[in-house]
Structure 1
């Protein structure tokens, strides 16, 4: 099977959990071919280089969303009029209550970009700004967007051009040939898959471990962005999410919290299946299976130090714990930090414990320590979780709590706030309290510190639950089944292509795959197609032929014709893989396939086939 994996700001470039789960998925399915289509977010991300990819990743395409994308293409008056009509539909769907114009405008712009080139100049033109202004002032527009001024319109148009940049990519001829498009996130990352389904009928699978629409709502909600711009962008991403959820063949939220968001935005329940993220349990086996449950008087917090994690409430809660149990400690292990917020937390710790240096890290000296994972004392996250008996999570905003699942793998009792998918992950194996409630957080921590047997029982139950639900093996098995389900639904492509029409033995390398009854391929014909590499199956590189950079390769290929809309399977013959069409014919003779004619030939399925490929 040939899988097109779509990512934004993640695999194969970025670090972090977004990269890790994609890498685990790809490496867990070596029997399939993967092609990566990545939208990068920054130059630094690309400069760090890609991770080492396995051999069954056949190609990587990258498109930067951060760099200017002006291809120098300017439209004539007919094209400008067509753009204006489609763009007006798009922004009317963004600003008004009805969603129908949005889809018509989106696909209309995609067709224009596919036929005439990029949209960069048009989307930043005065025509676009005036269209947005008219939509904001039109009857039925929301009050928030109706207050937009010229600076708001210019900023929104700039952001909209970046979000719509995937419409102008040159990926789609290749992306349209895959068997399944798998978007590793919603929003802009799924936009190429949405167009591949629209133009080529490729099944679309969308996985969301963190709901992109929710992230856009929360982004700049602190007032750092002008209200009208925030409202316009939120409306755009709402419409885009609704279209993706409506058109996707399958949606795999990472938890019930994400699933509820998708259902409220129009996703059908029969297309939803919750697939929890897969994590490497072996990393935590030593700590999880050890008899030692860590320091009984130590609370552990692990994660990125940022406002959403609400360490301020945790510090106030620990002050209550410290008053009740003077011998307790709190060790904060940072995997990353927002510098200003980290400084605030250190300052608060110094105020709450004025007689002790809160920023020291010497064990046994201070009640609160701020430490980093990777040093000689704490070389890994497993060592961080193993430092104490109770692990605390104090977040007010949370998607899938990765650190909580890791603590469960380590067999630790947990105290968490009820945010995001926390209750779903814990499932009764830990204590959950309301967020922003230091007193409740302190009481829960004290109950486990004072009852070590209960903490041990909860930790063992938590590890058993994590091993059942959150391992890499269950994640890969779920996606293997979903890929097969998508193909088993039958052909969805406009050309009638049938999945698995090509026999699997045709993909096995070796000379014996050539049928004994067929003539050997013409070496001159194979070489003349553009330097294609010899092999079997989909062998060959893009050959620059007159027919449009078709693929050629010696052996048994995907023999196919455009006119007949078929791909011949076993028993067709041997020739070139996807040999280039003869000039003016529009056919693709291949694999010992149909004899091509310069003016077009009969490509009907099962038609008379020649024993030689017409190249």
Structure 2
């Protein structure tokens, strides 16, 4: 079958989210044909280029989310009226519900879309598709979304009777901020990806995240009836509440409404939804997802590179703790350092290896703070540079002389520690499990689901509990070995690339088997040809040559495996 894989800020770019699992999925499903539709997040990401693509990728079409030039489209009177009506309805639906008053009510926020009336949900969906149809008819929405008409429509919706209190309190800067965010979020509506030579021709759209990546899939479903599969390893509404805490209550409330409404619409239209873990699944259910559509599919990770460490779990430093990850405030290394100070009181020979690099400017500042704290907590031992052997705490990066590879990082510690206060799916924890390491983790995100009783779990922001768990494992080598072996067995059963690929292969077949035939194939006499597009229609082989010669509605059939070079404006496109 032919899959339209849609990604935002990830595959096929060298850097970005979901790059690895998408690449492994495509490579693992060589019997299918993939068209990639990629939304980039920055100019730097585009400049870094793409990863090498396997032969089953026939086409790549890209478009930037980080910028959008004015499309130069000038609306006539009727088009301006259509825009004002649809945009007014969309922002009216946002102001009428789907958000909460302030970040403290986040626990109720992600259920707002579920509890909102069906009328408001239909209002948002109808307005969204109305804008998409306008963009298709007129050639774009960029200028209209940036116009004063859009800002005034948003202001009227905020001031309307029955609007949320936080929306009514929005000031001019808030309105401009929300309008700019809406313009960016709705940029995919202006793409030319939805015709018969684009997403309209695929058998299935697979959106690799919610939000902007789901919009093209929604439009392909709306315009051409293409079934949509949505995979979410992190729910966008949850991400919204974890980001931009400095924004005003009005901005946060309105943007929460946008993410909640869009999530509810995507869940309603998707044929199936595949959360990456039970934590994401619970968010999806609170946002209105139908349980019957949910299939939990854990992300597939490469276990081979941890095989040597996992099969020989002896540690060169049995009195060492290791933390591996991206250095940023959410990882709460500060609590880890305080916990380690308590560990040293009980086990003076213990060392802590912190392996990772900072994430952006905020991460670099946080790393500096952690280094200073380590020097303060261990003043008699922190005179020299932070290197292994000189101090009980070392800050290292993968690729150095002591830690040449990621597997070596986990091999360097007897116990792997996760100290986060916020996590989605804890990739580092799974890597430690592949490495056969006993683990101590904080109870956040999907940690308990992933660990499944093969490690110790403590409350977040509790250094004393973290220290007690670490000491318990440091003093009991046999228990460490048992837990490490059990963790590795669990990871190999649930979190490998093979199980991920097998799950999606079955899901693809399930969705396509339930989807009515959308393209009518005619024979030489012009009569309908039943069963003319079998499941093997996109697999190279002699059995498909006759199908390839037949004329399908909307243009001739393309020989299986033949690359396509399409023109996409304002998007850019490349081919193998």
TM-score normalised to structure 1 length: 0.82
Q: Tell me the equivalent position of 1:18.
A: 18
Residue 413 of structure 2 is aligned to residue 388 of structure 1: yes
After superposition, give the CA deviation of every residue in 1:537-579 in whole Å (9 maximum; x if it has no partner). 47575699xxxxxxxxxxxxxxxxxxxxxxxxxxxxxxxxxxx
Matched with 1:265 is 287
RMSD: 2.6
Whether 2:372 is the aligned partner of 1:347: answer yes
- Equivalent in the alignment of 1:312: 334
> What do the CA deviations read for 1:398-429 (whole angstroms, capped 9, x no partner)?
00000000000000000000000000000000
Structure 2: gaps of 5 or more residues: 98-119, 522-527, 550-554, 568-576
Cross-structure match for 1:433: 458
SS in structure 2 at match of 1:251: strand
Measure, in 2, the Cα distance between the counterparts of 1:253 and 1:487.
19
Worse overlay, 490-499 or 478-487? 490-499
Among 183, 186, 192, the residue aligned to 1:161: 183
Alignment partner, residue 362 of structure 1? 387
Equivalent position of 2:93 in the other structure: 93
User: Would you say the 8 A contact 1:8–1:38 is kept in 2?
Assistant: yes
Whether 1:106 and 2:153 are equivalent positions in the alignment is: no
Name which of 213, 224, 235 aligns with 1:211.
235
Query: Is 2:32–2:538's contact at 8 Å kept on the other side of the alignment?
Result: no
Q: How does 1:587-606 map to 2 (within 5 A)?
A: none
Residue by residue over 1:566-615, the C-alpha shift from the partner in whole angstroms, topping out at 9 and shown as x without a partner, is xxxxxxxxxxxxxxxxxxxxxxxxxxxxxxxxxxxxxxxxxxxxxxxxxx
**SS state at 1:111 partner:** helix
User: Counterpart in 2 of 1:483?
Assistant: 508
Unaligned runs of 5+ in 1: 522-529, 545-615
Q: 2:468 aligns with which of 415, 429, 443?
A: 443
Distance 1:510 1:111, change over 3 A: closer
Match among 312, 322, 344 for residue 344 of structure 2: 322
Q: Which moved more, 1:461-470 or 1:151-160?
A: 151-160
Larger radius of gyration: 1
Q: Which residue of 1 aligns with 2:244?
A: 220
Contact 2:5 2:207 in 1 (8 A): yes
- Tell me the TM-score normalised to structure 2 length: 0.88
Q: Which residue of 2 aligns with 1:123?
A: 145
2:60 partner SS: strand
Please give the alpha-carbon distance, in whole angstroms, between the structure 1 residues aligned to 2:66 and 2:6.
17
Structure 2 counterparts to residues 244-283 of structure 1, below 5 A: 244-283=266-305
For 1:134 and 1:494, locate their aligned partners in 2 and report how far apart those are by CA, in whole Å.
44
Q: Counterpart of 1:596?
A: none
Q: Note if contact 1:358-1:369 (Cα within 8 Å) is conserved in structure 2.
A: no
Q: Matches of 2:537 and 2:280 in 1, distance apart? A: 41
Out of 211-220 and 413-422, give the one that drifted further: 211-220
C-alpha displacement of 1:218: 1.3
1:286 corresponds in structure 2 to: 308
Count of residues in correspondence between the two structures: 531
2:533 to 502, 522, 526: 502
Q: Which has the higher helix share?
A: 2
Residues 408 and 463 of structure 1 are in contact (CA less than 8 Å); yes or no, is this contact kept in structure 2?
yes
Structure 2 residue 449 is matched with structure 1 residue 424: yes
Q: Determine the structure 2 residue equivalent to 1:536.
A: 559
Mapped pair 1:240 → 2:265: no
Q: Which moved more, 1:140-149 or 1:360-369?
A: 360-369
Contact 2:303 2:496 in 1 (8 A): yes
Instruction: Go from structure 1 to structure 2 and tell me whether the alpha carbon gap of 1:253 and 1:492 turns closer, same or farther (over 3 Å shift).
Output: farther
Q: Is 1:189 aligned to residue 219 of structure 2?
A: no
Per-residue deviation at 1:2? 0.2
The separation in 2 between residues aligned to 1:105 and 1:172, in whole angstroms, is 18
User: Equivalent residue of 1:388, what SS?
Assistant: coil
How far did residue 336 of structure 1 move?
3.5
Larger displacement relative to structure 2 (279-288 or 68-77): 68-77
Residues 202, 492 of structure 1: 8 Å contact kept: no
Residue 16 and residue 122 in structure 1: after superposition, are their counterparts in 2 closer, same or farther (change >3 A)?
A: closer
Residue 400, structure 1, aligned to residue 425, structure 2: yes
Indicate the SS of the match to 2:420.
coil
Distance 2:483 2:470 in 1: 13
Query: Matches of 2:38 and 2:46 in 1, distance apart?
Result: 11
* C-alpha contact (below 8 Å) 1:201/1:493 kept by paired residues: yes
Correspondence for 2:162: 140
